[in-house]
Structure 1
Amino acid sequence: MVKKAYSVEAKLACIEIKKVGKSNKVIMDAIGVKNASQVKTWWRWYQDDELYRFHQPVGNQYTYGKGMKQLSEVEQIRLQVDLLKSIRAW
């Protein structure tokens, strides 16, 4: 079984479609997501204001000191600003 890695743009598109009120099935068909639980996970991250998770690579967990914690504070803020700008552009 191969894990599918979705781009940040796909994740943001999912959030924007979900904000409009579309169902998970419609989102899955539009973006090509294979499992509804993935859409629910991204939505939960968005609602919990955990936007940094959209940059999280497959298999690496932040709880073990990987990912955003290794970046400097300036790089973390830059990533968050870029993400928020891309959300706003939708």
Structure 2
Amino acid sequence: MATRVSYPVEIKMKAIEMRLAGVPVSDVMKQLGIRNRTQLKVWMKWYREGEIHRMEQPVGKQYSFGKGPETTTELERLKAENRFLKQQLDLLKKYKELERRWDQKLSLPGSNPFEQK
């Protein structure tokens, strides 16, 4: 049994999308065949910190900050950046919608727990 598993970039990005959509970690791991929960946490950390270039690095290889593999073309890099920015926008839209619902809920009479009676 191999101790180090290399996952394709597509699996990593799909896992991140599923987590952002609220899918539980165990379900993501089961559906995508990810063995280690910590691995998913590392990918999410890279995503949050904008280090999506690290998704392409092979096991045991760490690139210098801001650099991806030498084989990445400008077009591939721009596509990855575009995908990242679209995901950021989707996340912000979801947050705004939740915030709007929360504000609506608080504006209903008797629903604000902080209201003075």
Stretches of 4+ aligned residues off by more than 6 angstroms: none
**Identical-pair percentage:** 29
**Stretches of structure 1 lacking an aligned partner (at least 5 in a row):** none
Equivalent residues in 2 for 1:35-54 (5 A)? 35-54=36-55
Question: What TM-score does the superposition give when structure 1 sets the normalisation length?
Answer: 0.76
Q: State the secondary structure of the residue aligned to 2:61.
A: coil
| CA offset digits 1:21-67 (Å, max 9, x no partner) | 1111011001000010011010000000001001111111224x9x7
Aligned residue in 2 for 1:30 = 31
**Stretches of structure 2 lacking an aligned partner (at least 5 in a row):** 87-117
- The answer to whether 1:82 aligns with 2:79 is yes
Asked if structure 2 preserves the Cα contact closer than 8 Å seen for 1:51 and 1:80, the reply is no
C-alpha RMSD of matched pairs (Å) = 2.8
Question: What TM-score does the superposition give when structure 2 sets the normalisation length?
Answer: 0.60
Q: Which residue identity is paired with 1:82?
A: K
- Distance in 2 (CA, whole Å) between partners of 1:61 and 1:84 is 19
Q: CA deviation at 1:71?
A: 3.5
Normalized per residue, which structure has more helix? 1
Greater RCO, 1 or 2 (C-alpha within 8 Å, sep 6+) = 1
Structure of greater Rg: 2
- Distance in 2 (CA, whole Å) between partners of 1:36 and 1:78 is 32
